[in-house]
Every structure is written in structure tokens, then in C-alpha cells.
Structure 1
Amino acid sequence: MGQDLRDAFVCGYERLVSWADLLDQINVFPVADSDTGCNLRISLAPLRRFNGNAENTIRSILSSATGNSGNIAAGFFSGFLVANSPADLLRSAKDGRDKAWQAIGDPKPGTILTVFDELVRAFESRDVALNMESVSRLIDNLQQAVWSTYEFLPELKRAGVVDAGALGMFIYLEGFFRRLVCNTDTFRPVTELFSGRLRISSSYEPELVDSHCVDSVVRLDGQPENAVEELSKHGESLVAVRDGSYLKIHLHTNNPQAVRTKLESFGDVVRWADDDIGSGAGTIPSPGVLHQAIHVMTDAAGSVTRKTARELGMTLLDSYIIVGDQSVPETLFSPSELYAQMRRGAKVSTAQASTFERNQVYQSVLDRYQDVLYLCVGSVFTGNYDAVMAWKGKNDPDDRMIAIDSEAASGRLGTIAIATARHSNTVKAADEVIRYAKDAVKRCEEYVFLDRLEYLAAGGRLSRTRSFFGDLLHMKPVISPTAHGAKQVGVARNRDGQLGFAMDRLKKRLGHDSSPLIVLEYSDNQAWVGNTVKEEVQSRYPLADIVLQPLSLTSGVHMGPGTWAVAFLPECWK
């Protein structure tokens, strides 16, 4: 496979990532559970590091695929990804389309399948050549296919939106084909291409759902007969994709145990995920906070969860967590899984999004919001501030995106971002929010308490000799992120010493009757931080707004399990 084709597969994914939040916001079919964008990002994440080995990547996609759209997309890519050259795309697109249709227990037009059908139709009519004119015509046809989903499915028409999965695949394929013809400098805004069909109608009332979402991989014993037919009896939205001796299953069911029993009759269940979608489905996906003085964006390395970002109407720019061959967006990786693997000695690392992906996110945010305030991780830690300023110089002539170097990381950045977003949601003037953010950068502090030094040593941030003797002597460093990097500000020998250090620093900065914003961060010690630490802080500062957040996984990778932190802003804007 040539480099251009490999790059095109990667480009499509990075383009998709930049619009994933919007896909979540318009997700109503088959269940209104606001996760189409997240599911596609998780499912197709193996494409981000695609090296031309189609067999391994297909297996990784099938293994990681989650949700209805993610599993259908996995079926498509199990065929589409085997193209060895652009000349093979007709065959591979048709194979992928057929596998996607065959994977679904009850396939319906007006979904992601409609986009696959149009792609194959264009190839079969010899309407596709690798030049800009032909690719532009193909993209126009795919756009019309997405528009048609609104007419096909009554649920979409009632909601007033196009299908989220179909839109996601359109965005992917637009990036893919434009990369093949070396034209990725500018893209037409999705908000213009589908104007009027990207916000759920206020009159829409989704159906209540009492169901579980099952994603499973089975290593088959032999060739089970009528597997799909048998599984269809146990639920809805069935997607079943076969890869050699493995069978990947996605199903919505109200009896997950019966499904597992049936799968075990087929072979060895090597992966099982069972999520209750009843609690999140049946409610209208939130478009975010509707009234903001300015839209706030920050880096996910700032210990802000996707849930918190949604509640405050923020945008997060993800880094990636890499464990072995697996690369997953930071906010979509399971913290418990990460820390468990680290304790088992797995090699883990982090990676920033590519320059192209970051640029696409910047443009997507500006396409969706009038003005944006981007609070970047401190430039001493990453190159995100330099990257956005370089992009602004070429793409933001009206200075609609204001970027601030927060000089911070981890919970300090998260605290600044949370406080600033809250402020933006309560005032009218963007300038006032910008001034508030700059002041918060000056006043916010954070203290991070490490349990062991070995993880800093593994990441090259500390010599292994110093790490060995530090752990041997039970020396637990206390560090604080500053404009000049992470600074060691103390040492504690145990949890009691860490908590005492934290309370001493809070006492020096806060009055008993003050109302600060205090963010407590945990790694794999949520119970202790959420109970012991929070109760102690609350007793000392009864008027404080205390927020419990997981430590950003970027920080967690470098600092390791057992780490916790406290960040605070002396005045909390209510």
C-alpha cells in the first residue's frame, strides 16, 4: 500500500475527530444516547496509527468497535481497508459496503448505510477519478446522501436532523478523498453544508428506553449455525461482524445475561462490555450551553472530563494514550484499565494530536461558535499554544479565537477552565471573561502528590537510580506545575503526610470563611480522595465549591497510579 493511501486513511479519522462533538449532539437513531461521535472516535482510533498492515488494523478496529455506528463502520472498514492502491478502491468499497449491510440484523436505509451505497454507486458509474473535479463531485453526492437520511427515517424527521452516523462517515470520506488528491488546505464548513439539520427540534420527544448495550468479541468453536438469527431473538440493533475465527457482536437487549449465555455456546467470550443505556437514552442530546459570552475551549490534559465539558458547554482537545498497539483519545480511555495495566508493568505513553488534527479542531470550533477562548496547556509542557498561534496567523483574520498560554497543566489548567466557563455562562461581555481567565491564571495553584517515582523514571523525567532510592526510602514528592515546568515543592512519606501538606498550603492561601473553587483529583484512589480528603477539606472550608475530578490521563501516565492532587482558585465565581 502506497504512502498516499495510508495517509488518506489517517486523514479521514483526524477530520472525523474534529466534528465528533456535533455528532453526539444530533444523535437520535437508533437510540438518543448522545454517543455517536464518541463511538466512532473509539472504534476507528486504530486508523490514527495505520501503517499499511490492513489485517492487524482491521482486527484492532473490530476489537475496539463500540456502539451501533462504530460496529457498522468496523464492518465497512473490514472490506474498505484492504485496498492496496487507489485502483482497488471500487472493489474494497463494494466489499466494505456489503459487509456493513450483512452485519446488521435489521438494516435500514437512511443511516450510515446510505452513504456507503452512494459511494459504491459513484464508483460503479465510473464517476470517480483521482482528480479534484471528480472528488468534488463525489463529495457533493455523498452530501446529498446524508441529506436524504432526514427523509428516510421518521425519527430523524421528527427530530429535525440528519443521521449522525451518516454525517460522521461523510466527514471521514471527505477527508480521505481530499487527501488522496492532496487538497486538504480548506474544507467547506459542515455547519454550512447541512444548515438547518444540525440542531434537534425543541418539540422532539425521544422514546424512553430500558435496555443494555452489549459489545462482545467471541472466539468461535467451529461454525455456529444461524448465529445472527439466534442473537436477533435477544434484542435490537444487532451488528455482527466476522473476522476469521472471531465474531464481534453489538446488541441492545434487556437481558444481557441471556445474550452472554448464547455467546458462550458459540465459543470463548474474550471481550464483554455491558452498559445500561436506559439511564442516558430517552433524553434529548444536549447542544451545550446556549448562552455564553464566549465559547471556552481547553486541552483535555487539564483534568476536565467529557461530562463536565458538556455540562459547561466547553470543547476539549484530546491527546492520545498509547498502550502497546492501542491508541485512544485521552478522555475516552478507561482510567481503571490504564492504571491496572500500569501496575502490571505495561508500557504506556502519550502523544499529542497531529498538527492537521489540531488545525481541524480549531476550524470546527470557529465554524460552530461566534468567538472562542482557548486556554492552552502551558507552553513549557506542550506545543499547543505555538500551534494555535501559527494556525491563527493564516486562518483567523478577524481574531475570533483568543488563545491564552495558561502556564499550567493538569488540575490547575482544569480549575482555570472550569471557573472561566462558569463565568462565561453568567456574564454577557467576552472581554470580561478574557480578563477573568487571565486573572485566574495568576491566582490558581495546584499541588500534586505522587505515590511512587518509578513512573517518572519510566518516562525519562527522573533517573532510575534516584527513583529506586526514592521509592526505597518512601519519599513521595509533591510537585506544582508552573510557567517554568513542574517544580518539586516538598516531600511526604505517606498519605497522612500528603494530606497534612495539602491542608497547610490551603491554610496559607484561603480564609476559613472564603468561597474558593477547589478541585480534588484522583487516579486509582477515588474512594480515599472522595471521602477522606474531601471531608477534611469541606470541614475546613464549608463555603468552598469542591469538585471531584479524575486526574488527566496525560498526567496519570507520567505520574502513575496512587497519584492525587488539589488545585484551587481563591475566589470562586458563582
Structure 2
Amino acid sequence: MVDNLMLKALTAGYEGIVVWADILDRINVYPVPDGDTGRNLVITLSVLRNPSLSPDLLTRKILLSARGNSGNIAARFLAGFMSCESLESLPLSVETGRDMAYQAVSDPKPGTMLSLYDALVTTLKKNPPEGSKKWVNAVINDLKEAVKTTTEQLPELKKAGVVDAGALGMLVFFGPLLNTLADLTMEPSLFAEDLKGTLNLSADWQDRAYQGYCLDVVLKVERDGDEAIKHIMNVGESLVALPEGNCLKLHLHAPDRERARQDLSAMGAIVSWSEDDLAEQTLRFNKPRKNQSIHIMTDAAGSISRDLAQSLGITLLNSYITLDQLCLPETFVDPLRLFAAMREGAKVSTSQASDAERSECYHTVMKLYDRVLYLCVGSFYTGNYQAAMKWKAEHDPEDRMTIIDTGAASGKLGLIAKVAAEQALDSNDSSEVIALARKAVEKVREYIFLDKLQFLAAGGRMSKTGAFFGDVLHIKPIVSPFPDGARKMGVVRTVQDQIKFAFRCLEQDLPRDRESILFLEYSDNRDWLERDIKPEIEHRFPLLKVSLQLLSLTSAAHMGPGSWGLAFLPRNFQQGDSNV
């Protein structure tokens, strides 16, 4: 087993990456501007949040879950690093990991994550771990300088005016990890202040669109591994190849997905396959970004996706979902996998971010932005509001962060955040944005329709006996989040009754002669809602703008598959009175 101190250090490092994931995505221009370095590192290293496994099993799980160029290189580094048994063995373990990372890359380049590993090897030789603990600051300062240098090492980074996302990802991983190993408390948001000027793309930066696919494949090879890698180098570019027993874990960029599948199948059996469309990713990444009059932060417990949050410039503070032994921030969870597992009876639980992760998130946004509006999930549901207010009292003497206890969750919270972020992009007056957000809290409405009660029982929200008889009697409750908890708004027995109830609420609460916005929230039933419900809503309410949004997964983890919801708000709700 990995010892307790190393377990704690690995978890601290992982939480650092989670906090910085959106920033890493925002500056990810190399080797392809696809904006996924943060996502890939979070998914790859997710096992580190609860790393109670042997080093070998931990390494294998990281390897098999590795995503993207950065995730696969980090996985190979950690395969060597996990040999660390004490502070004395840290320099050798880092050097072993560095060498293994280089061996995995077909064409290593300076100015990447590999340069950070080089710097870590060098600085640990100059500053070996010792009792005074002064070595930690010296090492971290050298790593910061190495990250800053990446801007000049790669033309793509210099053109964009940013540091390398992979190198920065490893910096925010090793900062808390090394401090934890030395039993020190790291200065919060240290990297945000020092690197602030290189965490946004240059205003005039623009890159070409890319075609092809980013592939992550586990291949069971039927020939010598080195020979197979030589053939695979002809399949695509940016190859990272990691041997694991009689398998190869591969990452590559291929222009033709089906041709790549055929070529790889000729070399062995494909055990697993995941892909990203580079054209879609780079097109989204190249969209121009606007400045906000006040930065919006909210909790991921609102039904707002990472893509929507990134397009509006919203910072999300995640809670976590644990599915069997996999623990991920909720906006990184594969919803189809979650709902399929729930239908099969898998154990699912939710948990909040640690105090350290919350604090780092608050510190980081306050270093990066002049004013921040934190639209907090209702204090009844989590401890985030209390934690934020405590942090503000200790660290915000200039009153630059405004915190609102919305009393909301799910679609209510997501819709409040969306309209506030849109106003922050359109208005130069932060007080207008805050006033609009407070009005939205008063006016927003939501109805969530549950399919089965068994999932509430599985999460401890009601008795298993009550859930059993409720499902036998086809009881389908309708609930809505309020400041004092989820209130039951009604009970029906069929899906058709749910639909009738939904339209009665819309007829009662939405004015037909005014533009309004609505989140139509889905779990594993998007196709049905998009095919049958969305067109009917748009037909009856022609001025209503309907957006399909995934139901907050921390809510859905308790409500279960088959759930769906409506959250809505008149577009000019802040002007005059309304029925809503």
C-alpha cells in the first residue's frame, strides 16, 4: 500500500488540478488548440482522490484511464514516481518517472510537460529533501520558472502569449503534493499571482481549424511491442505509447478514424477506444472570448455543463460523484455510464469538495479577477455557502467578492448563473449584474419529475420500504429545490400525467406575450425530450427559448435515471411584476 502521507499528498495534488482544470483548458494551444488538457488530467488522475491501492494497481488504473497527450505522458511519469517510499527516495523516483515519460513520446519537445519533469529532476539534485523544509520553496520556485520559460520555447505558445498547459498542470499538481510531503501549508493561489499574465490568450490570437480525431486506445498486441509501435507511428501523429503487459496504451491524432481503427485492428485486438473530434474541439476553442464586468462563479450542482460554463466565462466549483471505486468531479462524469450503472444497481454516492480545494478555488478567482460574484448552491444542500462566507471574512477585506445564497440547486441555480453571466458580458456595471442575479433568485421556477423512488432510497433520502411500495403503486413525485430543501410539488402515476402537469405549470407561470428562457433538463432521456417535449413547448410558447441541459449529476445521482425537469424565467423578469 502507498503510505498515508503519500496518499494525502497525491490527493492534494489531484485537487490542485481540479481547481485549475478550466484554466488549463483555456490556454491549451499545443500540440493542438483543442482545449482539453485540464479535462484529460482530471480524468486520467481521478483515482488519486481516493488512492487506497497498491502502487502497481494504482499505476495500472491511471494508465488505462489516461486521456489525451498530457494524460498519457503524466500516466507514464507516475508509473516511475510511484516507486517513491520516502523523501530520501524522491529525487530518484522523479528521475525514473521523467525517463519513462520521455520513452513514451515519439517526438519529445522542449516547452512541454517534459520540460517541467526535467526541471524537477534538476532542482531536486540542487535542493535535496531535508529536515529544514527550505527545499520545498526552492523546488517550487524553480518549477515556476520552468513553466514561465515554456512561452519562449514553443512558437505556438509565444504566439498565443501563454504558458504550456501540461507543464502548468504538473506545477499545480506538485505544489500541494510537495508541501504535503514536507508537512507544510502551501500559500494559496501562489501560481495565479505569479503567472497571471500568461493565463489568457492574446487578444489577436487565432489559429487554423484542425481535422481528424484524437484517439485513446488500449490495444492487445499480437507482435513485438517495439515493432508494433513502429507501425503505429504511420497511423497518426502526436503518438504516445505506453506498454502494459501484453497491451499497449496508445494516444494519437489520426486524420481518418475508420482507417485508424482498421490499421490498429490489424496489429491486435482493440480492448478499449475513446475519441474526440478535433474539428469540433478546435472550432469551439477558437471562438473569441469577451471580458466580463464581474466574474461569475457558481457550484456545479446547478444544471450547467462545462461547455456552457466555458462559453460564458463561468468558474464552476465541483462536488464529487463516486461510482463503485471511481471518484470524479461531477462535470467530468460520463452521464450515460452513470445512469446505466444506476439501473444495474451500482452504488453511487456524492461528496463535497474539501476545504482546501474550496479555499484554493476562492483564492485563485480572486487573484485572476477584480470582482467576483459567487452564486452559491442553497446553504440547505451543502456547506459551500458557510465555507465561502468564512473565507471571505478572513481574506476579502476590500469586499471584492459578493456571495449570494441562492437557496437553489439544479436548473434553478444553472439558469440564475446563465442570465448573470450573460449580463456580465453585456454590461459594464457590476452592480447591475448583482441586482439582476438577486432578482433572478426570486423569480426562477423549477419542476423536477422523478421516475422511480428506489434511487432516493439507495441514497438514503427515503426508506427502502416506502420506495418499494411507491414504485409498485407507480408513484412519481414532482419536486422543486427551495431554500429550506426540496419540496414536493405534486404526485402523478404516469409519464403522460407528468407531461400534463408540466404544461399546466408553464401555462400558469409563463406569460405567452413575453420572451422567456427555459432549461429542459434530461437524465438518460434526452432523445425523448428533444423529439417529443421540446417541439411541443416551442409550439405552445413561440417566444420561449428552450435549451436542453443535462440535469445536475449530484441531483440526478439521487433522483435516478428517467428523471427530467423544467427550469424557467422570463427574459425581462427584472422589469416590472410578473406571474413568475
List aligned pairs for 1:386-465, cutoff 5 A.
Answer: 386-465=386-465
Indicate if the aligned counterparts of 1:31 and 1:282 stay in contact, CA closer than 8 A: no
Q: Deviations over 1:412-443 (max 9, x none)?
A: 11111112222222222222222221221121
Shift of 1:572: 4.2
Rounded Cα–Cα distance in structure 2 between residues aligned with 1:279 and 1:454: 38
SS in 2 for 1:297: strand
Does residue 549 (structure 1) correspond to residue 543 (structure 2)? The answer is no
Indicate if the aligned counterparts of 1:419 and 1:572 stay in contact, CA closer than 8 A: no
Does residue 273 (structure 1) correspond to residue 274 (structure 2)? The answer is yes
SS in 2 for 1:196: helix
Shift of 1:514: 2.3
| 2:513 counterpart letter in structure 1 | D
SS in 1 for 2:301: helix
Evaluate the alpha carbon distance shift between residue 215 and residue 450 of structure 1 in structure 2; reply closer, same or farther with a 3 A threshold. same
State the aligned residue count: 573
Shift of 1:456: 0.7
Rounded Cα–Cα distance in structure 1 between residues aligned with 2:337 and 2:525: 13
| 1:486 counterpart letter in structure 2 | A
Indicate if the aligned counterparts of 1:34 and 1:285 stay in contact, CA closer than 8 A: no
Indicate if the aligned counterparts of 1:220 and 1:247 stay in contact, CA closer than 8 A: yes
Give the structure-1-normalised TM-score. 0.95
Evaluate the alpha carbon distance shift between residue 272 and residue 52 of structure 1 in structure 2; reply closer, same or farther with a 3 A threshold. closer
Shift of 1:66: 0.6
Rounded Cα–Cα distance in structure 2 between residues aligned with 1:284 and 1:529: 29
Indicate if the aligned counterparts of 2:148 and 2:163 stay in contact, CA closer than 8 A: yes
List aligned pairs for 1:156-235, cutoff 5 A.
Answer: 156-187=157-188, 189-221=190-222, 223-235=224-236
Rounded Cα–Cα distance in structure 2 between residues aligned with 1:285 and 1:351: 34
List aligned pairs for 1:515-554, cutoff 5 A.
Answer: 515-554=515-554
Rounded Cα–Cα distance in structure 1 between residues aligned with 2:7 and 2:33: 34
Indicate if the aligned counterparts of 1:39 and 1:69 stay in contact, CA closer than 8 A: yes
Indicate if the aligned counterparts of 1:212 and 1:275 stay in contact, CA closer than 8 A: yes
Rounded Cα–Cα distance in structure 2 between residues aligned with 1:188 and 1:571: 37
Shift of 1:187: 3.3
Shift of 1:241: 1.2
Indicate if the aligned counterparts of 1:2 and 1:85 stay in contact, CA closer than 8 A: no
| 1:430 counterpart letter in structure 2 | S
Rounded Cα–Cα distance in structure 2 between residues aligned with 1:357 and 1:393: 18
Shift of 1:126: 5.1
Q: Corresponding residue for 1:352?
A: 352
Q: Deviations over 1:393-416 (max 9, x none)?
A: 222222211111111111111111
| 2:481 counterpart letter in structure 1 | P
Q: Corresponding residue for 1:323?
A: 323
SS in 2 for 1:18: helix
| 1:479 counterpart letter in structure 2 | V
Rounded Cα–Cα distance in structure 2 between residues aligned with 1:110 and 1:227: 28
SS in 2 for 1:293: coil
Q: Deviations over 1:44-78 (max 9, x none)?
A: 11111122532222122112211111111111111
Which stretch of the first structure deviates more once superposed, 53-62 or 517-526?
53-62
Shift of 1:128: 4.2
Q: Quote the sequence identity (%).
A: 45
Rounded Cα–Cα distance in structure 1 between residues aligned with 2:218 and 2:201: 34
Unpaired segments ≥5 residues, structure 2: 575-580
Indicate if the aligned counterparts of 1:105 and 1:228 stay in contact, CA closer than 8 A: no
Q: Deviations over 1:542-563 (max 9, x none)?
A: 1122221011111111111110
Evaluate the alpha carbon distance shift between residue 532 and residue 283 of structure 1 in structure 2; reply closer, same or farther with a 3 A threshold. closer
SS in 2 for 1:20: helix
Q: Corresponding residue for 1:104?
A: 105
Rounded Cα–Cα distance in structure 2 between residues aligned with 1:381 and 1:474: 27
What value does the CA root-mean-square deviation take over the aligned residues?
A: 1.9
Rounded Cα–Cα distance in structure 1 between residues aligned with 2:308 and 2:295: 15
Q: Corresponding residue for 1:15?
A: 16
Does residue 129 (structure 1) correspond to residue 130 (structure 2)? The answer is yes
Evaluate the alpha carbon distance shift between residue 569 and residue 284 of structure 1 in structure 2; reply closer, same or farther with a 3 A threshold. closer
Which stretch of the first structure deviates more once superposed, 238-247 or 271-280?
238-247
Rounded Cα–Cα distance in structure 1 between residues aligned with 2:374 and 2:61: 33
Rounded Cα–Cα distance in structure 1 between residues aligned with 2:550 and 2:573: 22
Q: Corresponding residue for 1:383?
A: 383
SS in 2 for 1:200: coil
Q: Deviations over 1:156-212 (max 9, x none)?
A: 222222111111111111111122223325235324322432222233332432111
Which stretch of the first structure deviates more once superposed, 123-132 or 469-478?
123-132
Unpaired segments ≥5 residues, structure 1: none
Evaluate the alpha carbon distance shift between residue 73 and residue 133 of structure 1 in structure 2; reply closer, same or farther with a 3 A threshold. same
Evaluate the alpha carbon distance shift between residue 109 and residue 362 of structure 1 in structure 2; reply closer, same or farther with a 3 A threshold. same
SS in 1 for 2:512: coil
Rounded Cα–Cα distance in structure 2 between residues aligned with 1:207 and 1:237: 18
Q: Corresponding residue for 2:116?
A: 115
Q: Corresponding residue for 1:310?
A: 310
Indicate if the aligned counterparts of 2:175 and 2:186 stay in contact, CA closer than 8 A: no
| 1:447 counterpart letter in structure 2 | Y
Rounded Cα–Cα distance in structure 1 between residues aligned with 2:495 and 2:448: 12
| 1:528 counterpart letter in structure 2 | W
Shift of 1:116: 0.4
Rounded Cα–Cα distance in structure 1 between residues aligned with 2:60 and 2:9: 19
SS in 2 for 1:19: helix
Q: Corresponding residue for 2:577?
A: none
SS in 1 for 2:527: helix
Shift of 1:104: 0.6
Indicate if the aligned counterparts of 2:372 and 2:401 stay in contact, CA closer than 8 A: yes
Evaluate the alpha carbon distance shift between residue 571 and residue 196 of structure 1 in structure 2; reply closer, same or farther with a 3 A threshold. closer
Indicate if the aligned counterparts of 2:521 and 2:549 stay in contact, CA closer than 8 A: yes
Q: Corresponding residue for 1:469?
A: 469
Evaluate the alpha carbon distance shift between residue 309 and residue 57 of structure 1 in structure 2; reply closer, same or farther with a 3 A threshold. same
SS in 1 for 2:207: coil
Indicate if the aligned counterparts of 2:450 and 2:564 stay in contact, CA closer than 8 A: yes
Rounded Cα–Cα distance in structure 2 between residues aligned with 1:183 and 1:394: 20
Shift of 1:236: 0.7
